[in-house]
Structure 1
Amino acid sequence: MDLKTYTYEEAFSASLDYFAGDELAARVWVNKYAMKDSFGNIYEQSPADMHWRIANEIARIEKKYENPLSAQEIFDLLDHFRYIVPAGSPMTGIGNNFQIASLSNCFVIGIDGNADSYGAIMKEDEEQVQLMKRRGGVGHDLSQIRPKGSPVKNSALTSTGIVPFMERFSNSTREVAQDGRRGALMLSVSIKHPDAEAFIDAKMTEGKVTGANVSVRIDDDFMQSAAEGKPYTQQYPIKGDSPLVKKDIDAQALWKKIVHNAWKSAEPGVLFWDTIIRESIPDCYADLGFETISTNPCGEIPLCPYDSCRLLCINLYSYVKKPFTPEATFDFDLFKKHVQVAQRMMDDIIDLELEKIELIMAKVESDPQSEEVKSTERHLWEKIYRKSGMGRRTGVGITAEGDMIAALGLRYGTQDATDFAVEVQKTLALNAYRSSVTMAKERGSFEIFDAEREKNNPFILRIKENDPALYKDMVKYGRRNIACLTIAPTGTTSLMTQTTSGIEPVFMPVYKRRRKVNPNDPEVRVDYVDETGDAFEEYIVYHHKFITWMQVNGIDTEKNYSQEEIDELVARSPYHKATANDVDWLMKVEMQGAIQKWVDHSISVTVNLPNNVDEELVDRLYMTAWKSGCKGCTIYRDGCRSGVLISVDDKKKKEKKAESELPPCQPPQVVEHRPEVLECDVVRFQNNKEKWVAFVGLLEGVPYEIFTGLQDDDEGIVLPKTVTKGRIIKHTGADGNKRYDFQFENKRGYKTTVEGLSEKFNPEYWNYAKLISGVLRYRMPLEHVIKLVSQLQLGSENINTWKVGVERALKKYITDGTAARGQKCPNCGQESLVYQEGCLICTNCGASRCG
């Protein structure tokens, strides 16, 4: 049967109606979640089609078991993202026969036994890539790699240590495309490893390990030693009584380095490993293959090797009756009912995932490659299939915590709000586990369930204390799922639920955005003109539930408010003093720790800090997180990674800031060591009647160097017109001479290299290009670089001159009048990223680094 297809305009228009005029939500859905084939044909007109696709597939699985849910019952829970919201991978993949992709959001890999050989490391690298091409985010731990300087029996004689392999895994991640996204990777290492300090410092060199999140696994002994100023012993292997390498370090000094680096760059994250292992139910089965070794890229799912997890969230705001009124209450009865159904749907999705893995393995089997080539991929999925079916792990979470709290008249970050949030999470946990026990009666428990193994687990003991009847039934009937819960990032899905994200408070209830306009249009209002002459209109954007609050309280939502009036409105609202940047930071960490008691996996959350906080506060936050029972913690200090929302505030304060007051987190003034490989944009332009091309080398998204040459000429550069991106690779010969090659992928996926870019250039233009590259590397603001180019004396001043072409090539990297410092959205190109729950989320198109 031929499926009906829709144009982008048809899908966008229908989705715009579905989302009541919310262009961002409509664009996110069409771009990321509407079912498409590899030719870009769209097969769903609106999210209603997607929700029926998902509902029909889950209902098909339900029919295998007792008391099946109907497709209509499931659809009613999914419709308009009101109650139950599957995460990106299940939402995209369920019932989608155009992609052979996994439904899992999270994977961890790891070689059993001796994993520090080149063979084992290369195998992990290949497994990582094979998983990422099927859409999954991957984590793995590097603690088994021997430290730098250790003797090895190869030509190197001594080991290079962990850091070079961090860069290798990072580069592999950056090369894997996932339908407009890049792969997501978490690298971790134990603080006990002798190379832990090098690991912690690895990302402080600009341009290094840019394709991975990094977190350090910290044990209680280290935290205690750091707090008391005592020495701490590192060793390799990190476990065992007969280490090959052993040394005592100053725990306090290394702790201060962790704090400093996190303050300066938001990494490394910290994983409180003893808390993770102590609380982990799967680790009750560690000897059966369920020993936790690392986490997924955002840290919310600690996993054993070759296990995976699928996620969904429950929209907490939808359970508030009479929101934003004095009579507001939370409908616990409806919530309990829906949580039990959500856990049941999650178990159905495991069956759907096992079907997907079977399709993947069949695809691998039918591939024309030799057995030697495809054996690693096939064995990888065999292991994942076995582990997924063995434990049946799920990840039921929540979103809209911030909006729920505000709708109930509470203020995020206060003790009352925390107490209520804990009660909601406790209710969720008990009912998810009740559902898992009920399914064990109907469908059978997970394969290795053993109540005796779990009897002393702290999480299980909380269930026993708070619901003895549930615990009694669990011992009698077992449980369907080895672990059930998480709180994950919901960056793009929260754009479609039109709520706050995950456990986070509102980022800003009101903010200002700019859009470029034609100043000659008589109906256009010009509010801002940048240094290059581009004109912008500024407009106010309201958080959706802030508008609901205004409507409930009879406040005109159509009026054009002044800044003072907006400030007054926010001060009257339940979002006042409850945004990401002004909640009580220590209270937020304590709230995370309290909620963590009722989450069997972990929580992805970010503590947002203003730029002017000192390192001592970061120290206190991390210590508080550890003492409060958090399993991990991430902080983000404003300015460490360029934020792009323009706060609705007196922007003149920023404009008057002196150079000496620039945040210390800005990039260094010069990058002394050019990476061997740079991402590259290809920009074409006319030079009089000649066709030219510019290669713009990018370091973290910022122009770092530029090369220009003739295109499609016998003495120039022959390049397909479809090529817009690639890599510039620097080679340094034994004589010290340097050569720059351009590499891109052709239509068949093969890498093609254009050697010796410098040899293709007119010497005069080459010298100018070296000048421009020099000032770019010294981080001269792009607007000043463009002025420098415009002042070069090259004869003709008509618009097609070489220098104007170069100006245009560089101008594309200027956004809202300021240089994009490596944080332009890779999807839409706008500098519109905010940092939430360990992820960078684009507020313009909804793209997410790890969603």
Structure 2
Amino acid sequence: MNSDKIYTFEEAFEASLPYFGGDELAARVWVNKYAMKDSFGNIYEKSPSDMHWRIANEIARIEEKYENPMTAKQVFDLLDHFRYIIPAGSPMTGIGNEYQIASLSNCFVVGLDGDADSYGAIMRIDEEQVQLMKRRGGVGHDLSHIRPKGSPVNNSALTSTGLVPFMERYSNSTREVAQDGRRGALMLSVSIKHPDSEAFIDAKMTEGRVTGANVSVKIDDAFMEAAVNGQPYVQKFPIDSEAPKCTREIDASKLWGKIVHNAWKSAEPGVLFWDTIIRESIPDCYSDLGFRTVSTNPCGEIPLCPYDSCRLLSINLYSYVVNPFTKEARFDYELFKSHVAAAQRIMDDIVDLELEKIEKIMEKINADPQSEEVRGAEYHLWEKIQRKSGMGRRTGVGITAEGDMLAALGYTYGTQEATDFSVGIHKTLALAAYRSSVNMARERGAFEVFDAGREANNPFINRIKEADPQLYDDMVKYGRRNIACLTIAPTGTTSLMTQTTSGIEPVFMPVYKRRRKVNPNDTEVHVDFTDEVGDSFEEYIVYHNKFIKWMEVNGIDTKKKYTQEEIDQLVAKSPYYKATANDVDWLMKVRMQGAIQKWVDHSISVTVNLPNDVDETLVNKLYVEAWRSGCKGCTIYRDGSRSGVMVAVEKKDKKNDVKASDSVTPCKHPEVTEVRPQVLDCDVVRFQNNKEKWVAFVGLLNGYPYEIFTGLQDDEEGIVLPKTVTKGKIIKQLDENGKKRYDFQFENKRGYKTTVEGLSEKFNPEYWNYAKLISGVLRYRMPIVHVIKLVGSLQLKSESINTWKNGVERALKKYIVDGTEAKGQKCPNCGHETLVYQEGCLICTSCGASRCG
């Protein structure tokens, strides 16, 4: 039963603060994201203990339906203080919450069989995506069924527009759905076999496009072989047809190079090694019964069939280390195995609780005042999800605190020794979880379509057979309760509450700085610096929780205010030295992921963090190694390709030191170059205002905007440019009269270079003169954010020129890479400018709200 007692934020925060040992961020995260609330935001729990009892009582209620039930106290002891078992966000907020009608599933995949390329089918997927997001779920779906651009269609359009317009549609729908302080999460995927896959890969490279979705490419082994060996590759549509309507031979290595470049530049697209996913997938043994995997959830750790969903839970690995950070440290395997068995059992109970939630959702839909026609589509969606969830009873048991576990045992993350130990832990987890699922099959019955014969040749099942023949024999005899059991998801804000490293990742930084804006007239604050616009900031040191534990165990004063040199010395002595996200050997990290993947039946969400100055060759090497190592997917993040707010604690180079705002990672500006090089790299940025098509040519020096040419395109006074052109060169030279001339040169699809001569003459002189003004301030390295403000402040009477202002602002926003734009990025939940980039998501350090993408 829910309590009627309502607490204020302050009451819940103050009660939670001692629970988390004074960790303000953890307390805020819990109150804002996980305390039970109604639809009006009223808070009904005072501390995490209330939440854990709520969950424990509901799990115990389900347990009573079966043999050998766990008690509420037994479940509570596993959950308390986030020590052992941590349900993911949707189960944590939804279990036992009678005030909100929402699913307990973290992720869904949707997709229609048959003629899914029709407008009706495409619109239905859009509707289903929105309906799921409003219930708090993340959604993934595949676009490989949409016919390529230029294909004939049986409507007034005559030919298909291809994938990209529908990417925009689905992205925009995602951004429209609010989920309690965050936006919905969407994964769009497409097969590399699809003739429009190149357009899909390029779609997010244009500023402002497809901002509401993560994108990943499904890559098969044949493409990888062709890319690595410089061979041609044939794309076709339909992608799996023996008699395709169209085929296209491409240079695989060239398209692969584009994937690598875009990932290097923007951290997307991610890659999904689809043949590995399907080959290893146990549910695909039942593909003809509706379990054919088509896409993944937004973070990539759960490949799913249409209308299946998954609930997630993680086990805190650090808590099984006895005598952490000492020479006597050891891992308690027996306790771990018993808790894994309980976690798998709790996950199965949560499937029952989800089926109850779906019943309530369907009851609400039937009671809604809309017409049957409107209600019918949503009701049918949940009928399909209910059916698939009940058939397979899929679960998602995972882990968190891998990095802290290794450090506490004296291993250095990223070494072969650490990797070998981790693989052993995940093998132990897999065997214990599957043993639990088999035991539940004996007590509760196997999942509906279990057939040992179908699974006989599955590589994952055969690894279990080899490791534990008795377990395999029992599974053949009794079946298994769950079609698939395991995953490793990002643990984001939940790791803030466990106060550990996140998921399988190493520590981000054992010591880092945070900055907060302060009133310089306040006598209680210390102003460390003032930024370009006069705002004052205080800087303070934050220690990773388990780094403090290491200090305590080793008798190091945790209250002392250390100098920078002393901090460096402390880190160097600790087991976190050379084991941070930016320190670990990148090849070893993907090999570690591939080795652990052998014991995870779903997938692993992991990011390879790279410094800003790495080249694309390394990204290529990492992706190829990930494929060869058996990874199911891979994501890289190069520092600076997206902005964040945590700043590494390191010695300052006074020569290159710059002032920064609360959300800035300091970086060195390029040197001012007064003499313009003859040739500059150029980005082409297209945009539209008031139904007018515009184009901007942005000349780049060392990747930084140096000049800009803008104007209308495709009109008599403008410029005609192929729509596929996104890059080229701006060449400065003198004409026959000695007058400066700027030409734009680009390469077409066949590799021929084409030049647009006299670029400056192609635009209206008024646009050109203002563009020269903006180019002047760009060349002297005025920060982009201030250039944008300058453009916006121009007092221009002409409506067309004001349209031009909007276009320039939008074009230049693409290049805000030094973090200063975060001064304008406020948390949608609490309004503070305190966003931290973590695992593909922006997380507010004030209130814990998050959004991905």
State the TM-score, normalized to the length of structure 2.
0.83
Which residue of the partner structure matches residue 692 of structure 1?
Answer: none
Alignment of 1:330-409 (within 5 A): 330-409=331-410
Alignment of 1:822-837 (within 5 A): 825-829=827-831, 832-837=834-839
Structure 1 unmatched runs, 5+: 663-667, 679-731, 737-766, 795-813
Which residue of the partner structure matches residue 848 of structure 1?
Answer: 850
The Cα shift of 1:828 comes to 4.4
Q: Secondary structure at the match of 2:474?
A: helix
The Cα shift of 1:614 comes to 0.5
Which has the larger displacement, 833-842 or 540-549?
833-842
Q: Is the 8 A contact 1:513 1:541 kept in 2?
A: yes
Alignment of 1:251-330 (within 5 A): 251-330=252-331
Alignment of 1:604-623 (within 5 A): 604-623=605-624
1:87-107 residue CA offsets vs partner (Å, 9 max, x unmatched): 000000000011110000010
Paired with 2:834 and 2:417, the residues of 1 have a C-alpha distance of 34
Distance 1:326 1:59, change over 3 A: same
Paired with 2:228 and 2:244, the residues of 1 have a C-alpha distance of 26
Q: Is the 8 A contact 2:206 2:685 kept in 1?
A: no
Distance 1:621 1:107, change over 3 A: same
| Alpha-carbon RMSD | 3.1
Which residue of the partner structure matches residue 660 of structure 1?
Answer: 670
The Cα shift of 1:784 comes to 3.4
Which residue of the partner structure matches residue 784 of structure 1?
Answer: 786
The Cα shift of 1:669 comes to 9.7
The Cα shift of 1:825 comes to 4.4
Q: Is the 8 A contact 1:308 1:393 kept in 2?
A: yes
Q: Secondary structure at the match of 1:624?
A: helix
Alignment of 1:644-655 (within 5 A): 644-652=645-653, 654-655=656-657
Q: Alignment identity in percent? A: 78
Which residue of the partner structure matches residue 673 of structure 1?
Answer: 686
Distance 1:791 1:289, change over 3 A: closer
The Cα shift of 1:258 comes to 0.4
Q: Given residue 180 of structure 2, which amino acid in structure 1 is its aligned partner?
A: D
Q: Is the 8 A contact 2:641 2:817 kept in 1?
A: no
Asked whether 1:68 is paired with 2:78, we answer no
Q: Is the 8 A contact 2:431 2:464 kept in 1?
A: yes
Q: Secondary structure at the match of 1:233?
A: strand
Q: Secondary structure at the match of 1:365?
A: helix
Structure 2 unmatched runs, 5+: 659-666, 673-680, 692-712, 718-765, 797-815
1:441-460 residue CA offsets vs partner (Å, 9 max, x unmatched): 00000000000000110000
Q: Given residue 595 of structure 1, which amino acid in structure 2 is its aligned partner?
A: I
The Cα shift of 1:781 comes to 3.4
Q: Secondary structure at the match of 1:182?
A: coil
Paired with 2:155 and 2:847, the residues of 1 have a C-alpha distance of 50
Which residue of the partner structure matches residue 746 of structure 2?
Answer: none
Q: Is the 8 A contact 1:137 1:850 kept in 2?
A: no
Q: Is the 8 A contact 1:815 1:830 kept in 2?
A: no
Q: Is the 8 A contact 1:445 1:479 kept in 2?
A: yes
1:214-236 residue CA offsets vs partner (Å, 9 max, x unmatched): 00000000000011100001000
Which residue of the partner structure matches residue 839 of structure 1?
Answer: 841
Distance 1:76 1:781, change over 3 A: same
Q: Is the 8 A contact 2:284 2:291 kept in 1?
A: yes
Q: Secondary structure at the match of 2:189?
A: strand
Paired with 2:457 and 2:24, the residues of 1 have a C-alpha distance of 51
1:118-171 residue CA offsets vs partner (Å, 9 max, x unmatched): 000000000000000000000000000000000011111000000000000000
Asked whether 1:173 is paired with 2:174, we answer yes
1:546-589 residue CA offsets vs partner (Å, 9 max, x unmatched): 00000000001111101111000000000000000110000000
Q: Is the 8 A contact 1:491 1:846 kept in 2?
A: no
State the TM-score, normalized to the length of structure 1.
0.84
The Cα shift of 1:829 comes to 4.9
Q: Secondary structure at the match of 1:454?
A: coil
Distance 1:783 1:153, change over 3 A: closer
Distance 1:614 1:312, change over 3 A: same
Which residue of the partner structure matches residue 818 of structure 1?
Answer: 820
Q: Given residue 83 of structure 1, which amino acid in structure 2 is its aligned partner?
A: Y
Paired with 1:848 and 1:245, the residues of 2 have a C-alpha distance of 42
Paired with 1:555 and 1:396, the residues of 2 have a C-alpha distance of 36
Which residue of the partner structure matches residue 420 of structure 1?
Answer: 421
The Cα shift of 1:672 comes to 4.2
The Cα shift of 1:844 comes to 4.3
Paired with 1:236 and 1:817, the residues of 2 have a C-alpha distance of 42
Which residue of the partner structure matches residue 504 of structure 2?
Answer: 503
Paired with 1:272 and 1:306, the residues of 2 have a C-alpha distance of 22
Which has the larger displacement, 551-560 or 511-520?
511-520
Q: Is the 8 A contact 2:643 2:837 kept in 1?
A: no
Which residue of the partner structure matches residue 119 of structure 1?
Answer: 120
Paired with 2:511 and 2:543, the residues of 1 have a C-alpha distance of 5
Q: Given residue 508 of structure 1, which amino acid in structure 2 is its aligned partner?
A: M
1:44-65 residue CA offsets vs partner (Å, 9 max, x unmatched): 0000000000000000000000
Distance 1:228 1:509, change over 3 A: same
Q: Secondary structure at the match of 1:12?
A: helix
Paired with 1:677 and 1:428, the residues of 2 have a C-alpha distance of 58
Which residue of the partner structure matches residue 160 of structure 1?
Answer: 161
Paired with 1:285 and 1:305, the residues of 2 have a C-alpha distance of 13
Which residue of the partner structure matches residue 39 of structure 2?
Answer: 38
Which residue of the partner structure matches residue 146 of structure 1?
Answer: 147
1:772-820 residue CA offsets vs partner (Å, 9 max, x unmatched): 9x979999636635985999999xxxxxxxxxxxxxxxxxxx9999332
1:332-368 residue CA offsets vs partner (Å, 9 max, x unmatched): 0000000000000000000000000000001111111
The Cα shift of 1:655 comes to 2.6
Paired with 2:246 and 2:207, the residues of 1 have a C-alpha distance of 30
Which residue of the partner structure matches residue 571 of structure 2?
Answer: 570
Paired with 1:831 and 1:575, the residues of 2 have a C-alpha distance of 30
The Cα shift of 1:677 comes to 11
Which residue of the partner structure matches residue 474 of structure 1?
Answer: 475
Q: Given residue 413 of structure 1, which amino acid in structure 2 is its aligned partner?
A: G
1:746-794 residue CA offsets vs partner (Å, 9 max, x unmatched): xxxxxxxxxxxxxxxxxxxxx9xxx99x979999636635985999999
Q: Is the 8 A contact 1:530 1:817 kept in 2?
A: no
The Cα shift of 1:379 comes to 0.4
The Cα shift of 1:470 comes to 0.4
Q: Secondary structure at the match of 1:344?
A: helix
Paired with 1:595 and 1:631, the residues of 2 have a C-alpha distance of 11
Paired with 2:310 and 2:69, the residues of 1 have a C-alpha distance of 23
Paired with 2:683 and 2:244, the residues of 1 have a C-alpha distance of 41
Which has the larger displacement, 838-847 or 11-20?
838-847
Q: Given residue 674 of structure 1, which amino acid in structure 2 is its aligned partner?
A: F
The alignment of Structure 1 onto Structure 2 pairs a total of residues equal to: 747
Which has the larger displacement, 532-541 or 599-608?
532-541
Which residue of the partner structure matches residue 581 of structure 1?
Answer: 582
Paired with 1:480 and 1:791, the residues of 2 have a C-alpha distance of 64
The Cα shift of 1:509 comes to 0.3
Which has the larger displacement, 511-520 or 214-223?
511-520
Which residue of the partner structure matches residue 58 of structure 2?
Answer: 57
Paired with 2:819 and 2:610, the residues of 1 have a C-alpha distance of 25
The Cα shift of 1:7 comes to 1.0
Q: Given residue 559 of structure 1, which amino acid in structure 2 is its aligned partner?
A: K
Alignment of 1:193-232 (within 5 A): 193-232=194-233
Paired with 1:58 and 1:28, the residues of 2 have a C-alpha distance of 24
Paired with 1:105 and 1:552, the residues of 2 have a C-alpha distance of 38
1:494-549 residue CA offsets vs partner (Å, 9 max, x unmatched): 00000000000000000011112222222221111112222111110000000000
The Cα shift of 1:670 comes to 8.6
Paired with 1:792 and 1:455, the residues of 2 have a C-alpha distance of 71
Q: Secondary structure at the match of 1:849?
A: strand
Q: Secondary structure at the match of 1:452?
A: coil
